[in-house]
Structure 1
C-alpha cells in the first residue's frame, strides 16, 4: 500500500513540476516573442522616418527652384513636423487624435506646394474615437495618396478618413503617367506593423476610381 501511495504521490509531484516548468517556459517564450515583436516594430518605424524625410526633401528641392519664399516657409514648417516625428517614433502607440493633429499639420505643409490640388476630409466619428494607432500610420496613407496621384484645381484628389469597420482611408484615383518608384513599400511596412500588433493585416481595396486602405482597430479605455 505504501508503494502505491509513493507512486501516486510521486506521479502528482512530477506532474506538478512539469506543469510549473511548462508555465515558466511559456512565460519565457511569450516574453521573448513580445520583445522580438517590439524590436521588429521599432525597425519598421525606423524605416518610415527616412521615407518621410526624403519625400519632403524632394518637395523642398522643387520649391527652391520654383519659389524661394515658399521654400523658406516649407522648411520652417517641416522642421517643426520632423522634430515631432522623431519624438513620436519612440512610442509604440499613440492616441488617434494625436495622429490626426500630425496629419492636419502635415497636410497644411503639403498645401504650401499643392494649393487646392488635394483635399483632406476627416469625419467627426474618428476625431472623438478612443482608438490607438502606431505613429505615422495615417500620415503614410495621406502621403501615399498625394505622392501617387496627380490632383489639379479642377479635379482634386479628395482623401477621406473615417471609422467604418476599421480606420478607413479612401482617395479618388488620378494616377500619374509615370508611377513613382517604391510604390507599395510604405503599405507593406504598415501591414507588417499591424500583423505584429493585432495579428490582423491591413485591407486594401482598389477599383478603377478609388483606392482604400482599412486599418484594424485598436482601442484603449483611456481617452488617449
Structure 2
C-alpha cells in the first residue's frame, strides 16, 4: 500500500463512486470492497452497516461472513464513537474466532448527515505492514466514501420525492379516477344537488391536498386524515355502504408528523385488494398509538381475504404484479420511510384468511406550526 499514489486514490474514488452512491447494501459493498482491496493491496477489506457485515474480501473470509452481525469489538467501537480505530495487536481486533489471521486493522466510520451509518476496514495479517501513511490514507478515503454515500442518499431522497410528486400529478389527470368521480357527481346533480356540490368540494380538496403534500417531507396526522376523508367520500359515493373505515386515533396524536400519503395509500390498498367480489361487511381500521419508547405506531388492518404468502413476502420491497396493480405505491412508501428514518422505521405486513394488517412505526415528533 506504500506505493499507492495520488492518482491511484483518485482512480479508486472514481471506481467506488457508483457503488457507494447506491447506499450500503450487500451488492454495492461487495463491489466496493473488491475495488478497495485491488488498489490498496491489504490483506482484507470489510464493509459494514451499523449492525452487520455487508462484505468481506480477503483473509478471514471463512468467518467474517456477510449478513452476519458485526463480530469484532473494534468495529463496534468505531461505529459507536464515530472515531477511527487503529490497532496493531491481534487481541485488540476483538475477533472471537480462534484461527483468525488478522493482526492489525484500521476501522473508519462512514457518515451520512453527521450520523454513523457503517464502516470500512483495512486488515493486515502482518502488523508491521500498517504504517502512519496507511492510517492517513484510510482517513482520507473515509471522507471520500462518506461524501459518496451522502450524495447517493440525497439523490435517493430527491428521486423518491419526485416519484411521489409524479404519481400525485398523474392522479390529478388519471382518466379513470377523474372520469369515475365526475360521472358520479353528474348523476347526483339530477337527484341530490347538495350532495353533488359536497362531492365537488371534496374532489377539489383531494387534488389540492395531493399537490400540497408533494412539497413537504412530513405533514400532520390531521392533514392526512382530511386527505383520506376526501378520498373516502368520493369512493363511498361510487360504492355506497360497501366499505366501513373506522378511525381510532387519539386527538393528542393528530399533530404528530408523518410522511404524506402514509395512511391514504394503505387504506386505498385495502379497498382495492382486500375485498374482491365482496359487497358488504368490508371493514378497515386505522389506529395510531404513541409508544413509551418514543415512537408512533400506525396500524391499518382489514377483514378481507388475506394475501397469498408468496406475495406477502414481497410487499413493500418490490413491485408485485396483480390484476389490480403492481404494489409500487407500497414499495414507494416503504422506501420513503427508510429514506426519512433509516433503521428507526418499521414496515410490517401480516396476513391470513381473516384479513391483512400493515404496521408502520416511525419516531414520534410533533409537527411544528410555521407562519409566513
Query: TM over 0.5: same fold?
Result: yes
In the alignment, structure 2 segments of 5+ residues that lack a partner are 1-130, 292-296, 307-321
1:60 match: 181
Higher strand proportion (structure 1 or 2): 2
The alpha-carbon deviation at position 138 of structure 1 amounts to 0.9
Count of aligned residue pairs for this structure pair: 208
Instruction: Label 1:159 to 1:51 Cα distance change in 2 as closer, same or farther (>3 A).
Output: farther
Name whichever of 203-212 and 108-117 sits farther off: 108-117
Match of 2:325, SS state, is coil
Match of 1:217, SS state, is strand
The alpha-carbon deviation at position 170 of structure 1 amounts to 0.7
1:98 match: 223
Find 1:181's aligned residue among 324, 349, 352. Answer: 324
Aligned pairs for 1:149-168 within 5 A:
149=275, 152=279, 155-163=280-288, 166-168=297-299
Aligned pairs for 1:52-201 within 5 A:
52-53=171-172, 54=174, 56-60=177-181, 62-63=183-184, 66-68=187-189, 73-125=198-250, 128=253, 131-148=256-273, 149=275, 152=279, 155-163=280-288, 166-173=297-304, 180-199=323-342, 200=345
Contact 2:302 2:355 survives alignment (8 Å)? yes
TM-score, structure 1 as length reference: 0.73
The alpha-carbon deviation at position 128 of structure 1 amounts to 1.9
CA offsets 1:146-190 (integer angstroms, 9 cap, x no match): 2233564xx332211113673110111169xxx752152322222
With CA pairs under 8 Å and 6+ residues apart, which has the higher RCO, 1 or 2? 1
Find 2:152's aligned residue among 21, 25, 33. Answer: 33
Structure-1 separation of matches of 2:361 and 2:349: 12
Structure-1 separation of matches of 2:154 and 2:283: 39
Contact 2:206 2:230 survives alignment (8 Å)? yes
1:3 match: none
Higher helix proportion (structure 1 or 2): 1
Choose 1 or 2 for highest CA Rg: 2
Match of 1:206, SS state, is strand
Name whichever of 50-59 and 188-197 sits farther off: 50-59
CA RMSD for the aligned pairs?
3.3
The alpha-carbon deviation at position 62 of structure 1 amounts to 4.7
Find 1:206's aligned residue among 351, 357, 371. Answer: 351
Instruction: Label 1:22 to 1:125 Cα distance change in 2 as closer, same or farther (>3 A).
Output: farther
Structure-2 separation of matches of 1:59 and 1:127: 36
Name whichever of 155-164 and 42-51 sits farther off: 42-51
In the alignment, structure 1 segments of 5+ residues that lack a partner are 1-10
Structure-2 separation of matches of 1:51 and 1:209: 34
TM-score, structure 2 as length reference: 0.47
1:218 match: 363
